[in-house]
Amino acid sequence: MKKELLLCALPFALLACRGEADRKGQEGSYPEKEAAVRIGQTATTEQYRETGLEYAMAVQAALGKTLQEKISKEGAPAAIEFCNLNALAITDSLSRELGATISRITDRPRNPQSAASEGEMKYFSVYRKDLAEGHTAKGLVALRENRIHVYYPIVTNNLCLQCHGSPGMEITPEVYSGIKERYPEDRAVGYSAGELRGLWKVAFPEN
């Protein structure tokens, strides 16, 4: 079943993905080949990709709904406080409910806990190349530490820039002050709309 990604809630948005998207001429660039060697490029791989997308969307929806309400009622500074206090707890709770480990990773972290590992950094290059060339994104499936991991892009839109744009421009002094207070080593600013902000990571239990 094809999935058209829709969710664009601040501070992150998933790039439009299709579970059955065709990448003619691009297959060789996909890190999923690492997993394909072990589990086979079969319906099982697509099943992981589809299920992982559903899980990432479920967490996106839960976080996005609360963030939208916070911003609507209290403004962008409330979103910073919410993310600092609640985002990881909500994500962990849904991970336990769904039976997979769901997280967001980035190569420019705000929260150090969201930093991508050295081995995951290459996935950012893959997705940035896709964005630059206008390809439709597809979940990357990889076998890491004997677990199936699926990665999906998080791409900025104009709303994201309230917290991830440039200080003094899209980010107001009040919001930037809140960011620096809670995340003194923040690296997650200076983005423009349409840039890769990070990746959803869904890690399935060992079989």
Q: Where are the domains of the chain?
A: 28-203
Q: Which residues of the chain have pLDDT under 50?
A: 1-43
pLDDT digits (tens, 9 = 90+) for 85-139: 888 888 999 999 999 999 999 999 999 999 999 999 999 999 999 889 988 778 8
* 12 closest CA partner among 168, 202, 185, 191: 191
- Residue 147 to residue 131: CA distance in whole angstroms: 27
Burial 178-196 (b: 16+ CB within 10 A, else e): bbeeebeebebbebeeebb
What's the pLDDT score for residue 78? 82
Q: Phi then psi for 177, rounded to 5 degrees?
A: -60, -40
- Residue 86 to residue 81: CA distance in whole angstroms: 8
What's the pLDDT score for residue 207? 61
- Residue 54 to residue 48: CA distance in whole angstroms: 10
What's the pLDDT score for residue 127? 93
Q: For the whole model, what pTM was predicted?
A: 0.76
